[in-house]
């Protein structure tokens, strides 16, 4: 399935519904930082996200240190943001 890059208008309207996420990489990605009580909570979240990523075949770029998880979403196949990223961000928020 070809994955279409969002136009800047599409991007802005979708992101209005994702206020916790910020544009990154000159608008080609979105990013959010999650902070948990401790490492165990953070890693449990990462495990849930990993299972989701495999299920959707759409994988985050992420960094973890102790109780903090930084997630960046972009669609390599589209060379920027696609609907896959928007849908994934919404599902990741529900897993936090």
Using CB under 6 A, list all residues that contact ligand HBI: 57-59, 74-77
Rank residues 66 and 77 by Cβ distance to ligand HBI and give the closer one.
Answer: 77
d(CA 13, CA 18): 9
In angstroms, give the least distance from the CB of 38 to ligand HBI. Answer: 27
In angstroms, give the least distance from the CB of 80 to ligand HBI. Answer: 10
Rank residues 41 and 61 by Cβ distance to ligand HBI and give the closer one.
Answer: 61
Q: What is the DSSP annotation of 51-88?
A: HHHHHHT---EEEEETTEEEEEE-BGGGTB--HHHHHH
The dihedral through the CA atoms of 74, 77, 83, 88 has a sign that is negative
Tell me, what DSSP letter sits at residue 20?
Answer: T
In angstroms, give the least distance from the CB of 77 to ligand HBI. Answer: 4
Rank residues 77 and 93 by Cβ distance to ligand HBI and give the closer one.
Answer: 77
């Amino acid at each position: 399935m070809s994955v279409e890059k969002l136009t800047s208008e599409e991007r802005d309207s979708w992101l209005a519904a994702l206020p916790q996420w910020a544009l990154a990489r000159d608008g080609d990605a979105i990013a959010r930082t999650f902070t948990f009580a401790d490492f165990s909570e953070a890693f449990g979240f990462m495990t849930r996200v990993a299972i989701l990523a495999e299920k959707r075949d759409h994988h985050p770029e992420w960094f973890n240190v102790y109780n903090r998880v930084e997630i960046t979403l972009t669609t390599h196949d589209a060379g920027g943001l696609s609907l896959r990223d928007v849908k994934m961000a919404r599902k990741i928020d529900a897993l936090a």
